[in-house]
Chains A and B, each alone.
Chain A
Amino acid sequence: MNRSPRRAVLAWFAARPGWRAFGLAGPAVVWLLAFFLIPLGLMLGTSVMPRGVYGGVEWGFTFEHYGRFADRMYLSILWRTAQDAGITTLICLLMGYPVAYVIARSGPWKNFLLFLVVLPFWTSFLVRTFAMIFLLRDTGLINAMLLRFGLIAEPIQMLYTPWAVLVGLVYGFLPFMVLPIYASLEKMDWTLLEAAEVLGARPAARFLRITLPLSLPGVAAGCCLVFIPSLGSFLTSDLLGGAKQILIGNLVQNQFTSARNWPFGSAASFVLMAVVLVGVMVWQRIRDADERAI
Chain B
Amino acid sequence: MNRLPSWLIVWCAGVYAFLHIPILVLVLFSFNDSKFSVAWEGFTLKWYARLWERQDIVDGLVASLWVATTSTLIATVLGTLLALALARGAFPGRRWLEMLLYVPVVTPEIVVGISLLVLFVAMGLPLGLTTVVIAHVAFNLTYVVVVVLARLAGMDRSLEEAAMVLGADEVTTFWRITVPQLFPGILSGAMLAFTMSFDDYVITSFVTGPGSGTLPVVVYTMVRKNIEPSINAISTLVLVGTVILVTLADRWGRNRPLAGP
Q: Mark B73-86, 1 if CB is under 8 A from A, else 0.
A: 00000110110111
Q: Is the interface of B mostly helix, strand, loop or mixed?
A: helix
Q: Check if B85 sits within 8 Å of A126, measured CB to CB.
A: no
Query: How far does the alpha carbon of A33 sit from the alpha carbon of B93 in the complex, in Å?
Result: 14
A17 at the interface (CB under 8 A from B): yes
Q: Could you say which residues of chain A place their CB within 8 Å of the CB of B227?
A: 137, 139
How many residues does chain B have at the interface if contact means C-beta atoms less than 8 Å apart?
82
Q: Mark B95-113, 1 if CB is under 8 A from A, else 0.
A: 0010011011011111110
- Looking at the complex, which one of B108, B114, B138, B232 makes contact with A231 (CB distance below 8 Å)? B108
Q: Mark B186-213, 1 if CB is under 8 A from A, else 0.
A: 0000000001000101100010000000
Q: Could you say which residues of chain B place their CB within 8 Å of the CB of A99?
A: 12, 15-16
Closest CB of chain B to A252's CB: distance in Å? 6
Q: Could you say which residues of chain A place their CB within 8 Å of the CB of B29?
A: 134, 141
Q: Check if A35 sits within 8 Å of B1, measured CB to CB.
A: no
Q: Check if A273 sits within 8 Å of B108, measured CB to CB.
A: yes
Q: A35-B119, A125-B199 are in contact. Are A28 and B239 (CB under 8 A)?
A: no
Q: Check if B114 sits within 8 Å of A126, measured CB to CB.
A: no
Query: How far does the alpha carbon of A6 sit from the alpha carbon of B103 in the complex, in Å?
Result: 37
- Spot the interface stretch: A37-45, A69-77, A285-293: A37-45
**Nearest 3 pairs of A and B residues by beta carbon:** A232-B108, A39-B115, A24-B85
Binding site for B on A (CB under 8 A): 6-7, 10, 13-14, 17-18, 20-22, 24-25, 27-29, 31-33, 35-40, 42-43, 46, 95-96, 98-99, 101-102, 105, 116-120, 122-135, 137, 139-141, 144, 171, 174-175, 190, 193-194, 197, 203, 228-229, 231-232, 234-235, 239, 249, 252-253, 256, 262, 265-266, 269, 272-273, 276-277, 280
